[in-house]
Amino acid sequence: MKKEIPKTGLAFIGGSSTYAISFPEDLHLAGVTVLDRRTFSTPFGDSPEITLFEVDGELARTLKMHGWRPGVTRADASRQIFWVFEQAGVKNILVEGGVGAIKRELDLRDLIIPNDYLDLSMRKDVHLSDKYLLVMRDPVCPELMGLLHKTGKKHLPERQIADGIYAVTDGRHFESCAEVRMIEKLGGDVVGQSLCPEVYLAREIGACYAGIYLVVNRAEGIEPAWSHRELKDIFYEEAMNVGKIIIGSIRQIGKLGKKHCKCATLRKKTLLK
């Protein structure tokens, strides 16, 4: 008999900006309690370890580094976690990560909240089923974006927190200088490797999705060139800050009440039979 996955309306996908800590327990915040850690069997293989935790009585799920791990493709990792989220009834998803800055006005340790994307990855055909046509007119939830802006400014008032366009590439390498020049001409403000296919899968399961990303390096060819030591220092020194922004945003989601975004209406039944 199939074991039902307990219902949870909220999820946080951890990325490189909180990878240096055990989230959420290392934050030592009042009202935050870890309840369980486990993997789940999915049609796409066993999921990564997913943590069930509580924030002021609100249940949430989280996992580290987008579910990426040795021996599992990044596409399958995404399918695994979003299948679990769908079974759990997740409707709000927060995400964080590290990105390289292309836009000259962005400094290291600034934060960006993408409102659109350029998908330059090869991970195009990543979905859970063939039931839906996904309209990507407004890919990121404006209400969740607003919460992240508000909470980010509260915790880091001295930092720039900007909207922008996130260009997605495959990895597991950084981009070439020529690729960065191309992305800049296309309108990309930052470059990273995780927003797609997550933004598609969130829409497929009918969930709102938004992320906040830490500028951890300058993209290749954007001077001055980044150093590996500086990159490492940013990851370790900023993890607690980003973690607190996420918990603060989760607290605000619990106070939102009825949302008025159109995210759920942009998933349509497919016309292909």
Residue 257's pLDDT is: 73
In a domain, 270, yes or no: no
Q: Are strands 32-38 and 111-119 parallel, antiparallel or unpaired?
A: unpaired
Nearest to residue 159, comparing CAs of 191, 115, 112, 227?
A: 112
CA atoms within 13 A on the CB side of 235: 18
Mean pLDDT, rounded, for 165-193: 96
In a domain, 119, yes or no: yes
Q: What angle do CA 126, 131, 132 make, to 5 degrees?
A: 75
pTM: 0.96
Q: How confident is the model at residue 152 (pLDDT cuts 50, 70, 90)?
A: very high
Residue 1's pLDDT is: 34
- β-sheet bridge partners, residue 228: none
- Identify the residue whose tokens are 């996992």: 63
In a domain, 185, yes or no: yes
Q: Are strands 111-119 and 92-101 parallel, antiparallel or unpaired?
A: unpaired
Mean pLDDT, rounded, for 214-224: 96
In a domain, 174, yes or no: yes
Residue-wise burial string across 95-123, b where 16 or more C-beta atoms lie within 10 A, e elsewhere: bbbbbbbbbeebebbbbbbbbbbbbbbeb
pLDDT tens-digit readout, 11-62: 999 999 999 999 999 999 999 999 999 999 999 999 999 999 999 999 999 9
Please report, as a single letter, which amino acid is at residue 94: L
Mean pLDDT, rounded, for 199-221: 97
Nearest to residue 211, comparing CAs of 14, 8, 2?
A: 14
pLDDT score of 210 more than 50: yes
Q: What angle do CA 19, 7, 114 make, to 5 degrees?
A: 45
Task: List strand residue ranges (DSSP E) for 64-145, in order.
Answer: 92-101, 111-119, 132-134
In a domain, 1, yes or no: no
Residue 3's pLDDT is: 62
Distance separating alpha carbons of residues 14 and 97, to the nearest angstrom: 7
pLDDT tens-digit readout, 104-137: 999 999 999 999 999 999 877 899 999 999 999 9
Radius of gyration of the chain (CA): 18
In a domain, 243, yes or no: yes
* CATH number, domain with residue 39: 3.40.50.1580
- Identify the domain containing residue 83 by its residue range: 10-264
| Residue 40 CB coordination number (10 Å) | 17
Q: Are strands 190-192 and 92-101 parallel, antiparallel or unpaired?
A: antiparallel
In a domain, 190, yes or no: yes
Q: Which two tokens stand for residue 184?
A: 């800049």
Distance separating alpha carbons of residues 77 and 50, to the nearest angstrom: 12
Indicate the number of domains in the chain: 1
- Using CA atoms, how far residue 21 sits from 18, 95, 263, in Å, is 6, 15, 31
pLDDT tens-digit readout, 161-176: 999 999 999 988 999 9
- Stated as kind and residue range, the H or E segment containing 229 is helix 228-256
Residue 240's pLDDT is: 98
Distance separating alpha carbons of residues 77 and 68, to the nearest angstrom: 6
Mean pLDDT, rounded, for 69-89: 97
In a domain, 5, yes or no: no
